[in-house]
Amino acid sequence: MTPDHADENGDETDPLFDGRAAALRDAAESGPLFDDAYRPGQAGDGAGLVAGSRDDPVLVAGVGYPLLGDLAVGTVVAYRVCEWDPPGVAVADCSHTPVAAYQTITAGEYETVFLVGAEKRGGELNDGIPSENPGAIHEYGASEYEIPEDELVERIGESAMGSNTVENVLAIAAAFGDLSDDTRIITVEPGYDSWGMTVDEFTDPVAIALEDVLERVLSHLEAALAES
């Protein structure tokens, strides 16, 4: 006899994540993307949380602008994780300001934090020009993101005005305190960066990248929960 949770070869599997990768592939191709991307009535146990508790060992935080095309990728990922409902994982909708996002991320005793969002490379945000490589996914530790001192003040000023980007959340963290040692940043370069509400779907490069981002997050959650 095989274990209750086993694959066709008889190898034991994790009942929490069994079959989720295939489901993610289907979800990434379904649409429209934004119908359930922003649910302000849903709340977790703590300010900024939409699922889970500050006592959970893992946090997934989606940074971005709900309903604003490619800039909403972090928010969409956050609510997809809510749908998985993995135990031990808190989820934060950090779609307000970088300061509020930083406060939400650092309010708990999380062992592992995953910060997800759009990251434009080359040019300024909202200049109507796509990022250098739309759809490209970047992953790095918080300590690997270095902000020149002369740029830090400008970023803090942008943050005060509500420019809610992953980079500005990291700038606030650099100015006011460090993030968890085990913080992973996962970003996607946007193909469309307007703040105007004229796009109700991702551009093709980001829509394709979404599947990979979700599977990366899923894989990281498996590993993080196995260690906690």
2-57, pLDDT tens digit by residue?
Answer: 334 344 444 444 444 454 444 444 544 443 344 444 444 445 556 678 899 999 99
What DSSP state is assigned to residue 142? G
pTM: 0.78
Residue 202 lies in a domain: yes
Strands (E), 72-193: 89-94, 112-118, 137-141, 183-188
CB atoms within 10 A of CB 141: 12
Range of the domain at 199: 52-227
Does residue 178 or residue 209 have the better pLDDT? 209
Are the CB atoms for 49 and 60 separated by under 8 Å?
Answer: no
Residue 6 lies in a domain: no
70-119, pLDDT tens digit by residue?
Answer: 888 999 999 899 888 888 999 999 888 888 888 888 888 899 999 999 99
Residue 8 lies in a domain: no
Tokens of 107: 């309010």
Tokens of 213: 């981002």
Residue 1 lies in a domain: no
Number of residues written out for the chain: 228
148-184 per-residue burial string, b: 16 or more CB within 10 A, e: under 16: eeeeeeebbebbeeebbbbbbbbbbbbeeeebbeebb
Residue 29 lies in a domain: no
Across all residues in the chain, what is the average pLDDT?
A: 76
Beta-strand pair 112-118/183-188 = parallel
Tokens of 106: 């650092």
Residue 14 lies in a domain: no
Phi, psi of 166 (to 5 degrees): -55, -40
Distance CA 70, CA 203 (A): 7
Tokens 């004229």 label which residue? Answer: 198
Residue 210: give its domain's CATH number.
3.40.50.1450
Work out how many domains the chain is built from and give that number.
1
Q: For residue 29, which amino acid is it?
A: E
3-state secondary structure of 138: strand
